[in-house]
Amino acid sequence: MCINCYEEAGRPQIVNERTIKAAALIDNVYEYFGAGGYAHNVVDDWNLDDGNIDFCIDYANKDRPSDPEEEGRQACLDCLNYMKDLSIDERYSAMAIHEKMITVNG
């Protein structure tokens, strides 16, 4: 968790279908990896800019003929590709929802 990153971003608190879904996709990554797997730079270190998301997507897409963690790799790609379509404030909000820094009712 990067509370400093969140605070420097102005503590955005967007709660909508997109941020809730992104938080769920982040949660799913941790079903496979304890440290964010292929999405580590983004979901563990809160490097939420396009460049870091693209780096992680490229890394996950490298040729892996028999990746024993295929389901986890796909979970990372699903998360990263979804987050790429969010605004930066939505990305921070999704991370904050995942980290339980923002409470979602319902």
With CA atoms as reference, report the closest residue to 42 among 8, 101, 74, 88.
88
From first to last of its 106 residues, the chain has per-residue pLDDT tens of 577 878 888 899 999 999 999 999 999 999 999 889 999 999 999 999 999 999 999 999 987 666 668 899 999 999 999 999 999 999 999 999 999 999 887 5
The model carries a pTM of: 0.91
41-54 pLDDT, tens digit per residue, is: 999 999 999 999 99
30/35 Cα distance (integer angstroms): 7
Please state the domain extents for the chain.
Answer: 3-98
